[in-house]
Amino acid sequence: MSDATDVEGLTVGQVSTRLGVTVRALHHWDDIGLARPSLRTTAGYRLYTAGDLERLHRIVVYREIGLSLDRTQAVLDDSTADVPGALRAQRTQVAQRIDRLQQLSAGLDRMIDAHERGLLLTVEQQAAIFGPQWNPDWPAQARQRYGDTTQWQQYAERSASRSPEEWQAIADTVADLDRALGDAMDAGVTPGSPAANQLVERHREVFTSYFPLTRQMQVCLGRMYEADPAFAAHYDGIRAGLTTWFRQSIDASARAHDIDPDTATWQ
């Protein structure tokens, strides 16, 4: 490396600005011998020549496409290095990263849609899966009511990864529970009995398809089922009076777990 007092060359700061790399990186590349400036002033300051800049440009390009520092140095300094082969291998890795990023992007799009819509099914798919009584406006109404809750976030994130077939399986499980509730009421099962408590627990398990349901939250749901005309029509459509029977069963189960239904909150 030559010393000079009056020479043409760029300082580390000027090179940093021109190439968009940090001064720290340039110092590191100098220390490891990857890109050493050809000149120094008598005061010891680094100066980069046009040839140095050409090498630095190549380093920046190789680094941007993902070559390691060791691989970059080998490509630049080893006259026997298979540069096209190294670049082809790197191109393969870049293509693989692009594919992973595209998959990630698609997943993020679905996650955003799920948070905004709740249910990533067409109207036709919803009708086929949930039946003719299903109202496709319900997910939007639920988001408007619960969109700022943790439970909506949990529901949306699970919804984002579900296929129509998985939703069909969930719908079938819910339908089985509805039939079991109606059959229990027909059989004279009383709220608070072991059989009724078992169905209440089954309801909590089924509900985990949407989000984890605590007993206090279940009490709040039971009250909503009875107060909301759409839910009441659903359960009473299975058996007359089933909505109230189910709410009473949830309340009785809660009391058995030292929860006062009259003071239960969504937590």
| Contact (CB, 8 A) for 223 and 247 | yes
Distances (CA, A) of 146 to 215, 216, 217, 220, 224: 19, 17, 13, 14, 13
User: What is the rounded distance in angstroms from the CA atom of residue 242 to the CA atom of residue 248?
Assistant: 10
* pLDDT at 162 > cutoff 80: yes
Read off the amino acid at residue 77: D
Nearest 5°: phi and psi at 232? Answer: -60, -40
pLDDT value of residue 1: 56
- Check residue 83 and give its pLDDT: 79
Provide the pLDDT for residue 2: 52
The answer on pLDDT for 20 being more than 80 is: yes
CA 160, CA 116: separation in Å to the nearest integer?
11
pLDDT digits (tens, 9 = 90+) for 192-221: 999 999 999 999 999 998 899 999 999 999
List, for residues 77-90, the tens digit of each pLDDT value.
887 778 788 788 88
Residue where the block lists tokens 């976030």:
153
How far apart, in whole angstroms, are the C-alpha atoms of residue 207 and residue 201? 10
Q: What is the pLDDT of residue 27?
A: 94
Question: Tokens 């529970």 — which residue?
Answer: 177
For 20-35, what is the mean pLDDT?
Answer: 94
**pTM value > 0.85:** no
Tokens of 257: 């777990």
pLDDT tens per residue, range 100-121: 889 989 888 888 888 888 888 9
Distance in angstroms between the alpha carbons of the first and the last residue of the chain: 71
**CB count, 10 Å around CB of 6?**
6
Percentage of residues in the chain with pLDDT exceeding 70?
97
Q: What is the pLDDT of residue 131?
A: 87
Q: How does strand 2-4 pair with strand 39-41?
A: parallel
- Give me the half-sphere count of Cα atoms (radius 13 Å) on the Cβ side of residue 162: 23
What burial class does residue 173 get, using C-beta atoms within 10 Å of its C-beta: 0-12 exposed, 13-18 middle, 19+ buried? middle
Mean pLDDT of the chain: 90
